[in-house]
Structure 1
């Protein structure tokens, strides 16, 4: 559909790179703020570049009252991505920025910051807490978490959040990116393009995988019950093992390995997280033994839910966190496409209906 210099995937060997840098190196050495610059500008930032990104984020957390009021006016049980769509619809109507090469990347950084504000307040609205705007800090991860939870968040949770943002930043052109690209090809504003992407992400065949994987662990309940659950549900009833398999990877998803590492760190000192991690590790072993011959291995969503839970979020926030991270990747693709290879995306349909037919008047149809 499009050429890209953003993300490279080798599904056979389990390789993922952003702008040529391995996901392992970026997770080990980089920060999400660096990834923002890398994805938008193509190179790792110098100190002055990085400071400019941080300054732009810090000055962009504010959103119109109408967006926050809309979130709080809707039922608490409203679906998270649906709430994000609604809020972004407000931003699209109010801001409606035109495409200008000199401004597109700054607008993208503003949108990333405002996404953090929207998602933090979706959490707060659902939990019955008052609105709170993220405040400047050393990282978007900390600003987001402390706005959501309303106070200081320990460093290991902030680090895990930063890593999650990096790992979910981009993954080529799945359905949500494609939907947003179609909107971008019409020169719709960047906020509206995010609405299009969110609409595709809301579908259960694209979003929600981390939620479903984690629900399995909750259903199993304890590590001792994994084997029986696996035999009954996966082997006998042929149910799908959630968090396993990927349309691209035929080996371990490299992001999943990193998520597992941070799940282990969050499990230290937290018995509930440790329980779910033990369940997941046993389930992973059984799954690999059963399905690896078919090229089916754990994907990034298998352990990410444990990380989100360990940070302190309920299940309903998991896909929203994915969207917060992926917003940067979406925007980078939209800008790359419009600025470098723009043409209206207008596929043709292969007609398979009847050939020419003669019209029969109503009174002659029997």
Structure 2
């Protein structure tokens, strides 16, 4: 029996994976050997999904067939739409609505009775989940603003289609490409809390709907998802303040406030995903409102040059710039974490498939610290 206690399983190896690798000291992230910068700038989200699920980047024919298979699965049932409407009317939280939607997807799953060990069937189910999540999320948001859902566009990819279903208007090339990059950047990131949760559920040979639903539940916690929303709320506070944005950040630090979007459990330097989103934020600012980009770069500059946080291993993470990017795309801030889930579902599915291919039930132990040899007193004498 191993006696070492590692709270949070920090530093504990529990599996081997070919999916993604993080070098926290160098600020490097790779998916199956490909640098995240190359994938974000040279591939689309569908190609990255194919890479994660099939082990190689698709050729043109493979991508065309794969994209068509996703397109065919985007529609959700009338029951799902009706439930999204009821949840919107009840002012349910978006992550809770998404959790419910994914659970409901299984009601129309044609392969419900598939053998849990049939990984090809699991992959097909995962593809259906991935295709339907944007449709359900967009419908939920449309109902919240008193509008009817917009059907998926047959000629748009997953990223552009989500923006189209959200707003009812086809996004321009910059918006579509930016959001596609954001989905790529969030698709996988090692054994984070939600991915590990999905793997634990998958290790029981539960169906992929259960695994993805569990991942959503884990991601909904504020210690995992939600930091980009927190960043945006800080930017709103700066925007509404009477202070200059430079003065605001100086005062906030003097008051001991923690700035969200800085620091990461793995990265000791600037998150490579933050660098890419910073570029997109700047590009969006050039074509519209530049306040949010100005605020974020000022904060980073101050915390870097005046406080030296990166030298202490505290640098901007992906959330620091994703919040302002999403806001510039017109996405409501409480939809940021569901969008994270929409992207990361691809990674959850990939990890479940990889782990189940050589499965062993995940069953850690806890050190018992309670009392022993208690005497049971009869109920009438207690």
Aligning the two structures, in what range does the TM-score lie when normalised by the shorter sequence? over 0.9
Deviation at 1:181, TM superposition (A): 1.2
Deviation at 1:364, TM superposition (A): 5.4
Are 2:360 and 1:347 aligned? no
Give the 5 Å matches for 1:285-324: 285-289=301-305, 290=307, 291-324=309-342
Q: Is the 8 A contact 1:97 1:190 kept in 2?
A: no
**Equivalent of 2:298 in 282, 290, 313:** 282
Deviation at 1:363, TM superposition (A): 6.0
Take 1:97 and 1:305, find their aligned partners in 2: how far apart are those partners? Answer: 40
Deviation at 1:136, TM superposition (A): 1.8
Take 2:175 and 2:209, find their aligned partners in 1: how far apart are those partners? Answer: 29
Take 2:84 and 2:146, find their aligned partners in 1: how far apart are those partners? Answer: 12
- In the superposition, the TM-score normalised over structure 2's length comes to 0.91
Deviation at 1:293, TM superposition (A): 2.5
Q: Is the 8 A contact 1:210 1:318 kept in 2?
A: yes
Q: Is the 8 A contact 2:88 2:140 kept in 1?
A: no
Partner of 1:235: 254
Q: Is the 8 A contact 1:61 1:133 kept in 2?
A: no
Partner of 1:83: 97
Runs of 4 or more, structure 1, over 6 Å off, are: none
Are 2:219 and 1:205 aligned? no
Are 2:259 and 1:245 aligned? no
Deviation at 1:93, TM superposition (A): 3.9
| 3-state SS of paired residue (2:139) | helix
Distance change (3 Å), C-alpha of 1:92 and 1:363: same
What stretches of structure 1 of length at least 5 have no aligned partner? Answer: none
| 3-state SS of paired residue (1:9) | strand
Partner of 1:55: 68
- In the superposition, the TM-score normalised over structure 1's length comes to 0.94
Take 2:58 and 2:287, find their aligned partners in 1: how far apart are those partners? Answer: 36
Q: Is the 8 A contact 2:102 2:129 kept in 1?
A: no
Deviation at 1:20, TM superposition (A): 0.3
Q: Is the 8 A contact 2:271 2:316 kept in 1?
A: yes
Q: Is the 8 A contact 1:222 1:279 kept in 2?
A: no
What stretches of structure 2 of length at least 5 have no aligned partner? Answer: 1-13
Take 1:288 and 1:189, find their aligned partners in 2: how far apart are those partners? Answer: 46
For residues 178-216 of structure 1, the C-alpha deviation after alignment (integer angstroms, 9 at most, x for no partner) is: 111111111111112111011111111111011001111
Partner of 1:5: 18
Q: Is the 8 A contact 2:270 2:310 kept in 1?
A: no
Deviation at 1:151, TM superposition (A): 2.1
Partner of 1:157: 175
Deviation at 1:225, TM superposition (A): 2.3
Partner of 1:226: 245
Deviation at 1:30, TM superposition (A): 0.7
Are 2:45 and 1:26 aligned? no
| 3-state SS of paired residue (1:17) | strand
Q: Is the 8 A contact 1:222 1:276 kept in 2?
A: no
Take 1:327 and 1:97, find their aligned partners in 2: how far apart are those partners? Answer: 22
Q: Is the 8 A contact 2:122 2:207 kept in 1?
A: no
Aligned length: 361
| 3-state SS of paired residue (1:221) | helix
